[in-house]
Structures are given as C-alpha cells and as structure tokens.
Amino acid sequence: ELKVEQNPLFLSMQEGKNYTIYCNYSTTSDRLYWYRQDPGKSLESLFVLLSNGAVKQEGRLMASLDTKARLSTLHITAAVHDLSATYFCAVSSNTGNQFYFGTGTSLTVIP
Amino acid sequence: DTAVSQTPKYLVTQMGNDKSIKCEQNLGHDTMYWYKQDSKKFLKIMFSYNNKELIINETVPNRFSPKSPDKAHLNLHINSLELGDSAVYFCASSQLSGGVSAFFGQGTRLTVV
C-alpha cells in the first residue's frame, strides 16, 4: 500500500513568518495534490502537481514536486490568520483509481 | 450548483440501526469514492467505483455496502451500526485517468449512540 507521510503534524506560527510543510510518499507516482480543510468543512483542492519539478503558486502558498525524491513541499510565505486550517497532501495511484492521503498538518497562525 | 452533494449532513442514530448516505455528482466524472475521516482527521478510502463498477474495496466490514445506480450516484448503506462507525464520511469524485483532483462532498457526520 502506498504510504504518505506529512510533517509536521501540528504547526503554530506567527503572522508574517515563513514555513514549509513536507509530504513524503513511498512509491512511484507523479500525481500529487494538496488540499485544505477548515474545521467542520469539506476538503478544498489547492494544487495539482503532475510532473517532476512542477511548481504551482497561489497567493501566499507555493507547492512543488520532486518525484525522484518522492517529496512535495507546501511553502507558506508571510503567513496570515486566514491560512489557519488543516492541509493534506494526497498521491493518486498510477491507475488513478484512488487517492492516498497524508496525515494532515494542522496549521494555526497566531496574530 | 453543488458539484458533489451528499445527504444528510448530520446523522445521529442508535447502535444496531441501519442507515444510508446518498451522494450525487454533477461534474460528469467517471469515478466516485467513499472516504472515512476519523476523530484524528485521518482520511482512509473505503470504496472506489468507476462507471458504476466497484474497483477498490478496502478492508471495510461487510456491514458497509455501496451502491452505484449510475455513474453520477454512489450511495452508502450501513447495517447494524456500531459505536466505532462514528466518523465523518466523505463522498468524492474525479476523472480516472485525467490527473484531475478529487472533488469532495460536504461530508456526513455520523454519530452512533
């Protein structure tokens, strides 16, 4: 079974600071997804990364993918309170018939 | 226009009861999923259907039975509910081989008392 690990599990950071969330996965895949989940809400798709070296940016968030290292990062720049949420990475199987989710990173941005 | 809609949003029921959760997607996707999210927020796939055919059935008690009448619908029926079934259940859909992100429903919070 494909395993997906994120770290850290919990992250508390001050507004204005930068930080990176890491996502490691265990087998070959070139499809990596990042999601955001607010408390009591559904999962919202943030980024889709489909090739080695892919980089996507939206606002203060930037995601990248290194398929050789089986690593994706989600970088947060100059954090603001609105970014407080749980962030999940997910890897899809090569057949695409399921998504394996990481453990999630609960981010709290403190004013 | 909700892309993936599931009902009900909340479900409180007694042990031993049978309940169903409905899911519909209007995105034209060919693959639908059921995920379970536990109290620690871990997301685990339960079932995956492609064009109404079951393609993934993870280790799930056979009290859980999915039904897909057409590729836009995937319902989940649960028999003889147990306390440990309490969780949030998410329906999702995607396109099987398009590198498309999965779109999730709002979730159904099931509480078994």
Q: What angle do CA A35, A39, A44 make, to 5 degrees?
A: 25
Contacts of A99 in chain B (CB under 8 A): 33, 45, 92, 94, 102
End-to-end CA distance of chain A: 40
- Could you tell me which residue, B11 or A28, shows the higher pLDDT? B11
pLDDT tops 70 at residue B1: no
A17: Cβ–Cβ under 8 A, 6 or more apart, which residues? A78, A79
Q: Do A103 and B104 touch (CB under 8 A)?
A: no
Report mean pLDDT in 10-residue bins for chain A, 111 residues. Answer: 91 96 88 95 95 93 95 97 97 80 96 89
CA separation for the pair B31, B1 (Å, rounded): 19
pLDDT tops 80 at residue B96: no
Give φ, ψ of A83 to 5 degrees: -80, -5
Burial status of residue B15 (CB atoms within 10 A of its CB: 0-12, 13-18, 19 or more): exposed
**Among B5, B36, B43, B68, the residue to mutate for chain A (most A Cβ within 10 A):** B43
Q: Which of A45, A97, A101 sits opposite B101 (nearest CB)?
A: A45
